[in-house]
Every structure is written in structure tokens, then in C-alpha cells.
């Protein structure tokens, strides 16, 4: 992938030297440590309207005041911000290319695309959606119109999920930008209202449709990158492999040994590949209406 030829965005905020907290994730109640975080990665992993939903269920209390925090020894201080590396430049250039693509699409439709900030962090970060551990994976917060990414996830994508390659990493970014596009189009608000009225199964089904649409929007960006000859042979395959690697069925099988379709929140591997490919082949956001089909 010829990402060096993409425009570098100025909308990257580096918080890798910040440290909002140490230890397990959670308020005055349950703390989630190493093994628990792995489970959260597998269940929620990637690309949600608010990927803190699962963590909120795990750590949320009865609504009363929290107990005073237990006094613990402070964690050793982590070193300051790392020297800017290739990963940071990669993120900035892919982000810049998504800005150019969606600005052009919105302009053609008589709208105006407002680019989001992308926040780089390490381990944990504060957002308008709450404090998040890196274990939830990259996420988009509609509350502050920002994408959050721990660069260590790229290594996880390659090693744990078997999805290496530049275009696989770019797909991660483009998917989160897809959620920003949904937010700008008013889709996210509609889904949130519908989920509030639906039961658990209905809410999960809506979440799947929303995630698959973001996959399709990521594919739309990939279509235009291909048109501008920014993709190399094998890039599309790498992106499709990444989409398949994080399907709910594959992740559930790895975590539990069996699959529970009614508990899907992001879609199966086949669904994610299908909708990402729809965007890649059409380049048309109108083809990404996952809410208009009987079965996405």
C-alpha cells in the first residue's frame, strides 16, 4: 500500500505520554485484570458506537455511591511519549486520505464533511464516552467526535488475529471513520434511540447492522484509494482477511469454543467480508444501507 503518497492529516492528537490511571478497568466496583481484559478484547474488540458498553455492564454498580477506593501503592511511572515512529505517520496519512475521500463524497451530495480528531494513547484514555482501557480496541466516541487508537493494537491485529499488512491496519482506521460518517449523517442517533426501545436481542441486531455499515463505508474509502492507484497487489486480500479475522463467530469460537449468533454485536466473518467488499467494489455509500435489507 502506497500510504506514503497520501496526505498527512493535522488531526492526530498524541496522548501516548498521558496516564489516566493504572491497574484494572472499573470504578468503585469490579476491576478487570489481564485475563478479563483478553475476554473483553474478544467480545467487544473493535469498532463500536460505544465499545464501552460491555465494560459498563461488567463494572457498573447499582447506581449508588461508590465505596472509597482502596489505598494501593502507586504504579511505577511509565516513560514519556515515544519518539514519533512510522506507525504514527501511517495513521496520520491514512486519516488524511479518509478526510479527502469523504470531503469529496459529501461535497458531491451537497453536504460538508467535518473531519474528526484521532487520539493516540497507550493503555488507557479518557474520552467523552468514559475512561477506556486499550483492551476495548480502537473505538469512536460520538460524544466528542473523536477516534481513539492504541498503536499496540496493530501488533495484536497481526499476531493474535493473523491479519498483517498495511491495508489491514488502514481498514481499522477507515472503519472507525465510518462510524464518524454515520454520526454526521444522523444514523448513529437513530440507532441509539431504536436500541433504547429494543430488548437485548433487538439491540444486538441493530448493533450488527451499524457495524456492518461502517465496514461498508471503510470499503468505500478503499475503492477510491484503489482508483488513485494507492493499493498494491494483495492489499485488498489483506483487508478482507482482517474483516474476517474479527467476525463475532470466529472470536466467540476462540473464546468459548462455540458460537452464539444472537449475541453478535459486530457481525459474522462472512457478513463483515461481504459488506466491506460491497463498499470496495461499488464506491457508493448508498449501497451500504445495511438497515434496508432483511438479513444483512
Q: What is the pLDDT of residues 38-89, one digit of tens each?
A: 444 444 544 444 545 544 444 333 333 333 333 444 444 454 554 457 899 9
Instruction: List alpha helices for the chain, DSSP H.
Output: 34-43, 53-59, 86-108, 152-159, 166-184, 187-197, 200-227, 235-245, 248-256, 269-282
Domain count, the chain: 1
Q: What is the pLDDT of residues 13-28, one digit of tens each?
A: 999 988 665 333 333 3
Quick: pLDDT tens for 234-245.
999 988 888 888
pLDDT at 184: 96
Establish if 125 belongs to a structural domain.
yes
Grid cell of 5 as nine digits: 503518497
Does a structural domain hold residue 69? no
Q: Are 2 and 225 spatial neighbours (Cβ–Cβ below 8 Å)?
A: no
Q: How confident is the model at residue 1 (pLDDT cuts 50, 70, 90)?
A: very high
For 98-122, what is the mean pLDDT?
A: 97
pLDDT for residue 221: 97
Q: In which band, very low, low, confident or very high, does the pLDDT at 276 lie, cut at 50, 70 and 90?
A: very high
CA 108 – CA 169 distance, rounded (Å): 28
Would you state the pLDDT for residue 35? 40
pLDDT tens digits, one per residue of 192-244: 999 999 988 899 999 999 999 999 999 999 999 999 999 999 999 988 888 88
Check: CB of residue 170 under 8 Å from CB of residue 230. no
| Cα-Cα end-to-end distance for the chain | 29
The answer to whether position 130 is within a domain reads yes
Q: What is the domain extent for residue 204?
A: 3-61+77-288
Which strands form 146-150's sheet, in the order they lie side by side? 12-14, 117-121, 146-150, 139-141
- Residue 67: inside a domain: no
Is residue 238, in this structure, part of any structural domain at all? yes
Query: What gap in Å lies between CA 130 and CA 52, rounded to an integer?
Result: 8
Q: Count of CB atoms within 10 A of residue 286's CB?
A: 9
Residue 71 located in a structural domain: no
Q: Extract the C-alpha cell encoding 267.
A: 457481525
At residue 139, the 3 state secondary structure works out as strand
92 located within any domain:
yes
Residue 205: all three cell numbers together: 441486531
Provide the pairing of β-strand 124-127 with 146-150: unpaired
Provide the pLDDT for residue 20.
65
Amino acid at each position: 500500500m502506497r500510504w506514503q503518497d497520501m496526505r498527512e492529516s493535522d488531526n492526530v492528537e498524541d496522548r501516548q505520554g498521558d496516564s489516566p490511571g493504572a491497574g484494572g478497568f472499573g470504578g468503585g466496583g469490579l476491576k478487570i485484570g489481564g485475563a478479563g481484559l483478553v475476554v473483553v478484547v474478544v467480545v467487544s474488540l473493535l469498532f463500536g458506537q460505544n465499545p464501552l458498553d460491555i465494560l459498563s455492564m461488567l463494572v457498573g454498580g447499582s447506581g449508588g455511591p461508590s465505596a472509597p477506593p482502596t489505598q494501593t501503592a502507586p504504579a511505577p511511572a511509565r516513560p514519556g511519549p515515544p519518539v514519533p515512529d512510522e506507525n504514527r505517520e501511517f495513521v496520520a496519512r491514512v486519516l488524511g486520505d479518509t478526510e479527502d475521500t469523504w470531503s469529496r463524497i459529501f461535497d458531491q451530495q451537497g453536504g460538508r464533511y467535518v473531519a474528526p480528531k484521532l487520539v493516540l494513547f497507550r493503555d488507557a484514555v479518557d474520552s467523552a464516552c468514559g475512561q477506556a482501557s486499550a483492551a476495548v480496541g480502537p473505538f469512536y466516541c460520538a460524544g466528542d467526535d473523536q477516534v481513539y487508537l492504541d498503536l499496540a493494537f496493530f501488533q495484536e491485529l497481526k499476531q493474535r488475529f493473523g491479519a498483517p499488512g498495511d491495508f489491514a491496519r488502514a481498514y481499522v482506521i477507515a472503519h472507525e471513520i465510518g462510524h464518524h460518517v454515520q454520526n454526521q449523517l444522523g444514523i448513529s442517533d437513530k440507532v441509539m434511540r431504536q436500541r433504547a426501545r429494543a430488548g437485548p436481542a433487538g439491540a444486538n441486531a441493530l448493533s450488527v447492522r451499524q457495524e456492518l455499515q461502517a465496514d461498508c463505508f471503510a470499503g468505500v474509502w478503499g475503492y477510491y484509494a484503489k482508483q488513485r492507484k494507492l493499493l498494491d497487489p494483495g492489499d485488498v486480500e489483506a483487508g478482507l482477511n482482517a474483516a474476517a479475522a474479527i467476525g463475532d463467530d470466529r472470536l466467540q469460537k476462540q473464546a468459548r469454543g462455540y458460537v452464539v449468533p444472537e449475541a453478535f454485536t459486530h457481525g459474522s466473518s462472512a457478513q463483515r467480508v461481504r459488506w466491506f467488499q460491497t463498499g470496495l467494489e461499488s464506491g457508493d455509500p448508498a449501497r451500504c444501507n445495511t438497515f434496508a435489507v432483511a438479513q444483512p
